[in-house]
C-alpha cells in the first residue's frame, strides 16, 4: 500500500513538471518577439530564393546562386533593428555576410554575385526597399508576381508560412496578425527605452570597403590554391625520387654489377 502511494506521488510530480515545462514552452513560443523572429527568418529565405528564381528567369539558367545570410543578422527583432533592416534595399541585403555553413565562399559572396548581374536586374529592382518587397510581394499571394519573376515552389511567401500551422489555429492567427502589422503598426512605432540600438555595421559598409574585402578574400583563396599545388608537386616529386632510388638499388642487386669490376 505504501509503495503504491509513493508511486502515485512520484507520477504526480513528473506530470506537474511536464505540465510546467509545456506551459513554459508554449509561453515562449507565443511571445511576440519569437513570432517576429520566425517571420523575419522566413522572409529572408524567401528573398534568397526570390533572387535565385529571378536570375534563372533572366538568363534561362542559374548563372549565379545566392546563399542564405548569417543567422545572427536575422535574429534581431526589436523595433530599432527591424526598422533598420526593412529600410535597406535589396542591394544592401546582399551585403550582409552569408551563413558560416557556406564555408566554400567568402562572406560577401552574395554581393559579389549581385555586382556581376546588377545591370540585368536593373537599378529599380536592386534599390527596392525590403519593406516594399515585404508588403508588395511577400504578403501578396499573386500568380502574376510568380510569373513575372519566375518564382518556383521553393520561394515560399507568407501564406506558405501560415499553411504550416493549419492544425494550430490560435498560433496561426498570432502569426497572421503579427505578419500583416509588422510594417505599419510595428516598424513605424517609436522604440521603447528598454531596447538597445543594434549597430548593424555590415549593412552600412561602403561598397569600396566590401569590394576591397572581396578582392583580399579572392587573393587569399588563390594563394591557398597555389600553395596546395606546390605542396602536391613537392610530394609527388619526393615519391618519384624515392621510386627511382629503389628501382636503381633493385637493378644493381639483380645484375650484381659489382662482379664486373
Q: Are residues 129 and 183 in the same domain?
A: yes
Contacts of residues 90-94 at CB distance under 8 Å and 24 or more positions apart, as own/partner, are: 90/47, 90/51, 90/125, 90/126, 90/127, 90/128, 90/130, 90/133, 91/118, 91/126, 91/127, 92/203, 93/47, 93/69, 93/130, 94/51, 94/66
Could you read off the pLDDT of 41-81 as tens digits, one per residue? Answer: 999 999 999 999 999 999 999 999 999 998 776 666 788 88
Write down the pLDDT at residue 188. Answer: 64
Q: Are residues 149 and 222 in the same domain?
A: no
Tell me the Ramachandran region of residue 142: left when phi exceeds 0, alpha when psi lies from -120 to 50, beta otherwise. beta
* Separation of alpha carbons 84 and 190, rounded Å: 13
Give the end of a domain, one of 145, 180, 200: 200
Could you read off the pLDDT of 168-213 as tens digits, one per residue? Answer: 999 999 999 999 998 887 666 665 554 444 444 444 556 667 766 7
Structural domain includes residue 10: no
What is the length of the chain? 261
* Separation of alpha carbons 99 and 233, rounded Å: 34
Q: Which domain covers residue 178, as residue numbers?
A: 26-200
Q: Are residues 225 and 134 in the same domain?
A: no
Q: Are residues 218 and 150 in the same domain?
A: no
Number of structural domains the chain divides into: 2
Structural domain includes residue 100: yes
Structural domain includes residue 4: no
Q: Helices marked H in 31-68 — which ranges?
A: 32-59
Q: Are residues 71 and 137 in the same domain?
A: yes
Mean pLDDT is lowest, of 122-131, 174-183, 246-255, for: 246-255
Structural domain includes residue 163: yes
Write down the pLDDT at residue 184. Answer: 81
Q: Could you tell me the pTM of the whole model?
A: 0.67
The beta strand positions in 89-223, using DSSP E, are: none
Structural domain includes residue 252: no
Structural domain includes residue 258: no
Structural domain includes residue 14: no
Q: Are residues 73 and 100 in the same domain?
A: yes
Structural domain includes residue 39: yes
Average pLDDT for residues 219-243, to the nearest whole number? 58
pLDDT at position 92 over 50: yes
* Separation of alpha carbons 93 and 202, rounded Å: 9
Q: Are residues 44 and 73 in the same domain?
A: yes
Give the end of a domain, one of 165, 180, 200: 200
Contacts of residues 175-178 at CB distance under 8 Å and 24 or more positions apart, as own/partner, are: 175/35, 175/38, 175/39, 178/32, 178/35, 178/36, 178/39
Could you read off the pLDDT of 7-39 as tens digits, one per residue? Answer: 655 666 555 555 444 444 454 666 888 999 999
The x, y and z cell numbers of residue 97, run together, are 555576410
pLDDT at position 248 over 90: no
* Separation of alpha carbons 122 and 91, rounded Å: 11
Average pLDDT for residues 244-259, to the nearest whole number? 48
Cα angle 41, 42, 46; round to 5: 120
Selection from 126, 123, 148 nearest residue 66 by Cα: 126
Q: Are residues 150 and 104 in the same domain?
A: yes
Q: Are residues 191 and 158 in the same domain?
A: yes
Q: Are residues 67 and 139 in the same domain?
A: yes
CB atoms < 10 A from the CB of 113, how many? 20
Q: Are residues 168 and 44 in the same domain?
A: yes
pLDDT at position 245 over 50: yes
Q: Are residues 133 and 219 in the same domain?
A: no
Give the end of a domain, one of 200, 221, 236: 200
pLDDT at position 129 over 50: yes
* Separation of alpha carbons 109 and 161, rounded Å: 27
Amino acid at each position: 500500500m505504501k509503495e503504491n502511494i509513493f508511486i502515485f506521488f512520484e507520477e504526480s510530480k513528473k506530470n506537474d513538471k511536464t505540465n510546467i515545462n509545456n506551459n513554459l514552452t508554449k509561453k515562449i513560443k507565443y511571445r511576440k518577439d519569437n513570432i517576429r523572429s520566425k517571420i523575419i527568418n522566413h522572409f529572408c529565405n524567401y528573398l534568397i530564393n526570390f533572387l535565385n528564381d529571378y536570375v534563372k528567369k533572366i538568363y534561362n539558367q542559374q548563372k549565379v546562386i545566392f546563399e542564405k545570410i548569417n543567422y545572427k543578422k536575422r535574429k534581431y527583432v526589436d523595433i530599432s533593428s527591424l526598422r533598420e533592416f526593412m529600410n535597406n534595399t535589396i542591394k544592401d541585403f546582399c551585403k550582409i555576410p552569408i551563413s558560416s555553413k557556406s564555408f566554400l565562399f567568402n562572406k560577401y559572396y552574395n554581393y559579389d554575385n549581385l555586382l556581376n548581374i546588377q545591370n540585368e536586374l536593373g537599378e529599380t529592382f536592386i534599390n527596392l526597399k525590403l519593406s516594399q518587397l515585404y508588403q508588395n510581394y511577400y504578403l501578396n499571394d499573386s500568380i502574376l508576381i510568380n510569373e513575372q519573376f519566375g518564382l518556383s515552389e521553393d520561394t515560399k511567401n507568407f501564406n506558405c508560412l501560415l499553411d504550416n500551422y493549419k492544425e494550430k489555429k490560435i498560433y496561426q492567427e498570432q502569426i497572421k496578425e503579427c505578419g500583416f502589422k509588422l510594417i505599419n503598426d510595428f516598424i513605424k512605432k517609436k522604440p521603447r527605452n528598454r531596447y538597445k540600438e543594434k549597430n548593424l555595421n555590415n549593412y552600412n559598409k561602403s561598397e569600396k570597403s566590401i569590394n576591397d574585402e572581396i578582392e583580399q578574400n579572392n587573393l587569399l583563396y588563390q594563394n591557398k590554391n597555389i600553395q596546395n599545388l606546390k605542396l602536391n608537386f613537392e610530394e609527388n616529386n619526393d615519391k618519384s625520387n624515392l621510386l627511382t632510388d629503389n628501382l636503381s638499388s633493385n637493378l644493381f642487386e639483380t645484375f650484381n654489377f659489382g662482379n664486373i669490376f
